[in-house]
Amino acid sequence: MAHFSYTAEKNDGEVYKGVAEANDRFELYQIIRREGAHVISVNEDAGGQKFSLKSINAIFSTIKEYDKILFARNLGAMLGAGLSLARALSVIERQSKNPKLATTVAELASDVRRGDTLHMALGKYPNVFPKLMVAMVRAGEEGGDLASSLAVTSDQMERIHDLKKKIRGAMLYPCIILFAIVGIGTLMMIKVVPTLAQTFIEMNAQLPQSTRIVIAISNFLISNTVLAVILLVGAVVAFFLLAKTAPGKRLSDRMLLAVPVIGPMVREVNAARTARTLASLSSSGVDVLTSLEITEEVVQNSYFRDVLKKARKSVGEGEPLSATFVRSDALYPAFVGEMMAVGEETGQTAEMLKRLAAYYETEVDRKTKDMSTIIEPFLMLFIGGAVGFFAVSMISPIYQLSEHI
């Protein structure tokens, strides 16, 4: 497959440039004619271009989630302005600063020029474009309004992206505090405790059990610093590897739901994602079973994914969509099932889902802003407990010694 850069003229006299892949120039001329234009000039890129700096960058770079959002938004805007699909993809390829995205879009444009629909072309890259985008694009193509469908897709993906950013931002403060505690505690164990321990030994002090534990930890860190670092790094790596396995993911999902402050937010985040995704797909004309299947991928927690699987099975057997959610009020808030039921009764399911999504997105936004205030008392209790244990352990022998002086 050769790579061509060309200049073409449309029937109305408009001249434009583009890039395309084709087996030869003859196939390229056919592709351009099908677009309603004729070639003015064409250049075949050098055969060694696949080893160019751009192609190497494309191999090692990644396509971020926000790049996909911009891709959907810009493509929808250009289609709405009247550009053909192949030409719009060519424009995005030239404008993209991400080499991997530019390469992928060039391949999409080539597939479209050879007769594939956009959703078929997107479906060839499941690791790049999510099922949500593919399904929304397919619905837009079948409904004859691809531009609007892409706009809805970009909005939906951006809302999911914003939710993730807010949650990560809310967790940043407690993570920094915990990191600082571990750092200061390690420094105290290495620098302060050995001096006090030597004093206790010289004065033959009777040490309580808590003091012996602190001194034992200090001695281990000093004598086995490299081993301690290896164990710490190994524990972190093992935790993340375990979390990627099915049993580990299941356990971490269960633990998140059990945490007092985090658990309710996890429920609301998943409720918002479920409602927003189902609303977008339903309003675009995607059938309920396919919508539920796609929503399973958007929802991260495996327990909520199980509910969606049950809902898909129940709907296939003739039950209303709301039935499963009403029965699963231990995970999804009861308000979700009730609103779905009202939507089904009034024939406004998509509208009710949008209201649900807006409500829970607002709740999550409010709680993430207040997260530091909510978590701060728990952090203070933890810090106080750690400092208190250390202080009592190291000061109580000093008091005992002072009583014998």
Reported as a single tens digit per residue, the pLDDT across 330-360 is 899 999 999 999 999 998 888 899 899 889 8
Q: What is the mean pLDDT of residues 115-119?
A: 86
State residue 312's pLDDT score. 92
Q: Are 331 and 304 in contact (CB under 8 A)?
A: yes
More confident residue, 30 or 75: 75
* pTM of the predicted model as reported, rounded to 2 decimal places: 0.68
Reported residue count of the chain is: 405
Confidence grade of residue 177 (pLDDT, cut at 50, 70, 90): confident
State residue 55's pLDDT score. 56
State residue 179's pLDDT score. 85
Confidence grade of residue 212 (pLDDT, cut at 50, 70, 90): confident
Q: How far apart are the first and last CA of the chain?
A: 91
More confident residue, 376 or 353: 353
State residue 70's pLDDT score. 92
Q: Are 26 and 77 in contact (CB under 8 A)?
A: no
Confidence grade of residue 57 (pLDDT, cut at 50, 70, 90): low
The answer, yes or no, to whether residue 109 has pLDDT greater than 90, is no
State residue 51's pLDDT score. 47
